[in-house]
Structure 1
Amino acid sequence: MTQKAIIITGIGIVIGAMGGYLYYHFVGCASGSCAITSKPVNSTLYGSLLGGLLFNIFVKEERK
C-alpha cells in the first residue's frame, strides 16, 4: 500500500469511528439486547471497520 492509500483508509477509519459513536449516542439500543449498538466500544469499532472499508474503495491501485 502506498502512503496515500494508508492516509485515505485512516481518514475513513476515523470518520467511521466518529459515526459509530454518534450512532450509539443518538440512536443506540434502549433494551441493551442489540449486539452492536448496546455498548459504545462495539459501535465505534464497527463504524471504524465500515469507514475503513468504504474509504478503501476510493484508493486507486497502480498498474504495472
Structure 2
Amino acid sequence: MTKKQYIFTGVGVVVGLIAGYAYYHFVGCASGTCAITSKPINSTLYGGLMGGLLFNMFVTSPKKKENNE
C-alpha cells in the first residue's frame, strides 16, 4: 500500500471512531446487555474498525507496468 492509501484508511478509522462514540452517546443501550453499545470503548473501537474497512474498500491498487520487450 502507498502512503496515500494508508492515510485514506486512517481517515476512515478516525471517522469510524467518532461515529462509534456518537452512536453510543445518542443511541446506546439502556439495559447494559448489548455487547457493542453497552460500553463506550466497545462502541468506539467497533466504529473505528468498520470505518477503516469501509474506507479501505474505496482504495484503488496501483497499476502494474507492463514490459513490452
The equivalent residue for 1:9 is 9
Offset, 1:63 = 1.9
The equivalent residue for 1:32 is 32
Larger Rg: 2
The equivalent residue for 2:50 is 50
Displacement over 4 Å in runs of 4+:
none
Instruction: Name the CA distance, whole Å, in 2 between partners of 1:16 and 1:63.
Output: 29
Structure 1-normalised TM-score? 0.98
One-letter amino acid of the counterpart of residue 44, structure 2: T
Aligned residues: 64
One-letter amino acid of the counterpart of residue 46, structure 2: Y
Report sequence identity in percent. Answer: 69
- Structure 1: stretches of 5+ with no match in the other structure: none
Structure 2-normalised TM-score? 0.91
Cα RMSD for the two superposed structures: 0.4
